[in-house]
Amino acid sequence: MLQSGFGSNAMKTLLTLILCLSPLLLVAQANNPTEVEARLAVLQSDFQTVFQQSVTFSHEVAVGDLNLKFQGALDRAQEDAARRGDLDSAVVYREEKTRITESKGVPDQDAPDTPSPLRQLRATYRTAKAKLDADRAAAAEPLLKAQDQKLADYQTLLTTQNRLDDALKVKAARDALGTSLQRLSAAATGADPAADGYLGHLVWSPKVLAQFPKESNLVIDMGWIDGGDAVIQEAKRLGLKVILGFSGETLDAAERTAIPLAVANHDVVLGLMWRGPYFAGFTPADLTAFGNKVHQAMPKLQFWGAFVEKPRGRVQTLPVPPEVDAIVVISFFAPSPDEVQQKAADTLPGWMSKANGRPVLLEWTASGRKPAGLVPETQPGTLTAMQTARDEAGAVGLILGQLGENDGIVGLDEKRELLTEIKEKITRKPAAKPKGGP
């Protein structure tokens, strides 16, 4: 089940991610675990102990030593700048030390105005850190393979005893382990999350992440207001990326809570998404102001705007300011392939033009005119039609409905054929346009 070649630049939180890869391995925490659930929990506990002793401890010590050396170099650079009377440079070095002491790390890319000496120090740090991460990944791989082999042996034993339902539980644990490791491998190599496209879903509870289709790699966390970082931590365990979603009604909370939450979890949270700002009466100036706050908090954080495709039946004439890094076009009331195609043909050319080269994602929403939403009446092929619309428009990703119920609106998991359609027919990576095409 496990893939070879576990990546060379392992994520900073590899221990957390590996040790809790799947809730399926933690089911023995229930009040009355079955024999299989209890056995899975023992295997997981043994694995955690070995992983901590063999991989995590030495890596943490090595990174701590690297950070101390980096801070020493920054101290010397700050002192030199102070002696020369260069206040601006001295402050820059002091701020860099603060980043390290606050565990924010070195940014993936330098800002255009980063002083050359600091660029050089960061380059040296990145090279050394990449080597430590590669060493950790090399040490982790045989342990991960061994864990999978133990599960495989147990699965075989149960199968030979004709305990098929129990064997399927173990197989599900292996599948979840393998899927998570594939996602982690991509993250460990430093791959751009958008390089192979985005496929995401709205989520309010961490419990539903176990149902994420294999191709899906993006969580739109709508539950952070009440649940804090619960969804974020579960996404981290599963190797998924997160966008924190909010509406105009929760704008203050987004500034007060979501931005700091994103900064604190920047290894997994890509940024924030303001949903339906123009439909709710906000203006481009409001987007500019909030986008600036996001980017000032941490330059690498992204600010996405999600817009109704054709609000109240009218073409959206307001521009999208440059502070918005990515545009999400939300398709409402489209329960059939024909309706998806009609809406896409009518609205996407205008939105692609408005994006002016920025990434565009298409969203199919489960919200509808009926209390339970759109899922119960959605026809087979509807979500596949969204994929076709994505490819024809040149968009970089899809957000397909929600998982789990919220405010009476049911999720895709309530209609098995829709979830099956995603698993069997939807790909994360957009299809390339034919040469000479539109």
Name the CA dihedral angle for 273, 178, 52, 232, rounded to a multiple of 10 degrees. 10
Q: Judge whether residue 399 has pLDDT over 80.
A: yes
Q: How confident is the model at residue 60 (pLDDT cuts 50, 70, 90)?
A: confident
What pLDDT digit, counting tens, does each position of 76-89 carry? 999 999 999 999 99
Query: Which residue type does 310 have?
Result: K
b/e 272-293 (16+ beta carbons within 10 angstroms → b)? bbbbbbbbeebebebbeebbeb
Beta bridge partners of 221: 203, 244
Q: Which of 242, 171, 198 is nearest to 25 (CA)?
A: 171
Count CA atoms within 13 Å of residue 23 on its CB side: 13
* pTM of the full structure: 0.60
Residue range 390-398: average pLDDT? 93
pLDDT at 179: 53
Under 8 Å CB-to-CB from 20, ≥6 apart: which residues?
26, 237
Q: Judge whether residue 192 has pLDDT over 60.
A: no
Residue range 5-31: average pLDDT? 42
Higher pLDDT among residues 423 and 6, named by residue: 423
Distances (CA, A) of 257 to 95, 98, 168, 197, 224: 23, 21, 41, 28, 9
Give me the percent of the chain exceeding a pLDDT of 90. 55
Residue range 363-390: average pLDDT? 94
SS3 369: coil
Q: Judge whether residue 8 has pLDDT over 70.
A: no
pLDDT at 55: 82
pLDDT at 181: 56
Residue range 339-367: average pLDDT? 93
Task: Give the tokens for residue 237.
Answer: 């365990």
Residue range 368-374: average pLDDT? 90
* C-beta separation of 332 from 323 below 8 A: no
* C-beta separation of 363 from 396 below 8 A: no
Q: Judge whether residue 3 has pLDDT over 60.
A: no
* C-beta separation of 221 from 235 below 8 A: yes
Residue range 332-339: average pLDDT? 95
Q: Judge whether residue 123 has pLDDT over 50.
A: yes
**DSSP state for residue 254 in the 8-state scheme:** I
Query: Which residue type does 35 have?
Result: E
Considering only the C-alpha atoms of the chain, give the largest distance between any 2 of them, rounded to a whole number of Å. 79
Q: What are the structural domains, with CATH classification, of the chain?
A: 1-191 (no CATH), 193-425 (3.20.20.330)
Q: How confident is the model at residue 223 (pLDDT cuts 50, 70, 90)?
A: very high
pLDDT at 182: 54
Mean pLDDT of the chain: 84
Cα(224)–Cα(202) distance, rounded to whole angstroms?
12
Higher pLDDT among residues 138 and 371, named by residue: 371
Higher pLDDT among residues 234 and 184, named by residue: 234
Residue range 392-402: average pLDDT? 93
Task: Give the tokens for residue 28.
Answer: 């023995």
Q: Judge whether residue 1 has pLDDT over 50.
A: no
Highest mean pLDDT among 40-44, 46-50, 217-221: 217-221
* C-beta separation of 77 from 93 below 8 A: yes
Give the burial class of 87: count Cβ atoms within 10 A of its Cβ; 0-12 exposed, 13-18 middle, 19 or more buried: exposed
pLDDT at 33: 67
Which range, of 170-179, 206-215, 407-416, 425-434, averages the lowest pLDDT?
A: 170-179
Higher pLDDT among residues 387 and 11, named by residue: 387
Cα(82)–Cα(41) distance, rounded to whole angstroms?
56
pLDDT at 76: 94
Cα(155)–Cα(165) distance, rounded to whole angstroms?
10
Q: Judge whether residue 427 has pLDDT over 70.
A: yes
pLDDT at 186: 46
**How many other C-beta atoms lie within 10 A of the C-beta of residue 46?**
12
Give me the percent of the chain exceeding a pLDDT of 70. 85
Residue range 122-140: average pLDDT? 82
Q: Which of 291, 385, 372, 298 is nearest to 337 (CA)?
A: 385
pLDDT at 153: 94
Cα(195)–Cα(257) distance, rounded to whole angstroms?
29
For the chain, how many helices (H) and strands (E)? 14, 8
What pLDDT digit, counting tens, does each position of 237-264 carry? 888 999 999 999 999 999 999 999 999 9
